[in-house]
Amino acid sequence: MTKIVFATRPSKLARWQTNYVIQLLQQAVPDLVCEVIVITTRGDKELDKPLPEIGGKGLFTQELEAELLSGHVCAAVHSLKDLPVENTAGLTVGAIPVRADPRDVLVCTQSSSLEELPSGAVIGTSSLRRQAQVLRHRPDLKIESIRGNVDTRIRKVEEGQYDAAVMAGAGITRLGLDKHIATWLPLSIMLPAPGQGALGIQCRADDKTTLAILKKISDIDTTKSVRAERAFLLALGGGCSIPVGAYAEIKEGVIVMQGLVAATDGIQVINVDGQGEEPQALGKQLAKQALAQGAGELLND
């Protein structure tokens, strides 16, 4: 009997993602036994401050990584966009299943699009990438930090604390909360975070048994695409909190990718695009193009 012990955060979305991966694995390996241990991270506890101020998305992964390294658990399922682009020593991403829709959405009770929002409307997001792109299209809107789980952020909009919020569509649809989506934002308006919509299953780099099982549910096209996106982010400095967007897809065997680096006020935006066959090389190439156009100065600001 083979057994995999998973660590998960307590949120509904984290549990859904872990259970979804377990279902995929048990379809691929029918006699596999899976156990789940719930771990509350610092990011789950400190909900009163904007994420970039207290350390960014890594706050949701550090405790899970510590459990992995200690050997108490075998694997942890993350939203790939929240996972730091450089592997923690001793850990690796063992599988990336088929990606969900990577786009962001507008959650709003009053308007059905970004264009329809009244001037001065308050938009909730803790993402500098989303802030920059919203302000690029609607500089008259006001951005305020919003924290909490998916359902908490939706509730804050419904209660009128915010006029709207911009969120990842994948998390909302995974929880069956699609009715709260006013509109899906096109890539031309809102380029997603590198890896958005994809799940990354982290495990110990030397755990051959777990790695062999996880490999059965990894999707080749998704893996290539998100590796290119994450290579772009890494070559630009690597932080999950910086205003960088990227989206890659496979077209006729080639990786086609677009990337974006923006000033947080949305006034300056650098767009790059290209294609290639090797994910890391393509990500680095587009980052080099962005840096040549002044991306370093925008990120330093």
Q: What is the rounded distance in angstroms from the CA atom of residue 213 to the CA atom of residue 102?
A: 26
Instruction: Report how far residue 30's alpha carbon sits from residue 205's, in angstroms, rounded to the nearest whole number.
Output: 24
d(CA 291, CA 86): 20
pTM above 0.75, yes or no: yes
Portion of the chain with pLDDT greater than 90, in percent: 83
Share of the chain above pLDDT 70, in %: 92
The distance of Cα 61 from the centroid of its chain, to the nearest Å, equals 12
What integer pLDDT is reported at residue 59 of this predicted model?
67
Neighbours of 127 (CB within 10 A): 26
| CA distances (Å), origin 201, targets 79, 92, 248 | 9, 8, 20
Give the single-character DSSP code of 89. Answer: T
What is the mean predicted confidence (pLDDT) over 124-129?
A: 94
Measured between alpha carbons, how far is 237 from 132 in angstroms, rounded to an integer?
18
Q: What is the pLDDT of residue 47?
A: 53
**Where, residue-wise, is CATH 3.40.190.10 in the chain?**
3-97+198-218, 104-184
Residue 269 vs residues 125, 259, 295: alpha-carbon distances, Å: 19, 10, 9
- Residue 56's pLDDT band (boundaries 50, 70, 90)? low
Topology, domain 104-184:
D-Maltodextrin-Binding Protein; domain 2 (3.40.190)
Report, as residue numbers or ranges, the catalytic residues: 82
Examine the pLDDT at 269 and tell me if it is beyond 70.
Answer: yes
For 160-171, what is each residue's pLDDT tens digit? 999 999 999 999
State the Cα–Cα distance between residues 174 and 178, nearest whole angstrom.
Answer: 9
* Rounded CA separation 275/281 (Å): 10
Q: In CATH, which of 3.40.720.10, 1.20.1600.10, 3.40.190.10, 3.40.50.300 is domain 3-97+198-218?
A: 3.40.190.10
Q: Which fold has domain 235-300?
A: Double Stranded RNA Binding Domain (3.30.160)
Which segments of 78-207 does DSSP mark as H helices, in order?
Answer: 128-137, 150-158, 169-174
Q: Facing residues of 101 across strands?
A: none
